[in-house]
């Protein structure tokens, strides 16, 4: 159980870090050509989306495993 919470915390930190980095990314790529700027920003957006999706998946998985409806059925 603790391992799942550690994964969720790590994913949350990654999402926060990527979101906080968005303005700084714009500064870092400002000297690139417009095409390269767009490519870098698009890649960062895809990375943020993947990180958010992974976080949501981990949260849903954890809530499913911790739900009170999760009961084992006896074998027949």
pLDDT of residue 68: 58
pLDDT of residue 63: 81
**Residues 41-68: pLDDT tens digits?**
999 999 999 999 999 999 998 887 776 5
C-alpha to C-alpha distances, 28 to 11, 44, 54, nearest whole angstrom: 24, 12, 26
Give the largest CA-CA distance in the chain: 69
pLDDT > 90 fraction of the chain, expressed in percent and rounded: 70
pLDDT of residue 6: 92
């Amino acid at each position: 159980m603790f391992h799942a919470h550690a994964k969720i915390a790590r994913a949350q930190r990654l999402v926060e870090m990527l979101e906080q980095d968005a303005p700084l990314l714009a500064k870092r790529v400002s000297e690139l050509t417009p095409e390269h700027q767009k490519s870098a920003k698009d890649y960062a957006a895809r990375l943020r989306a993947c990180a958010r999706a992974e976080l949501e998946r981990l949260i849903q998985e954890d809530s499913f495993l911790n739900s009170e409806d999760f009961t084992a059925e006896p074998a027949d």
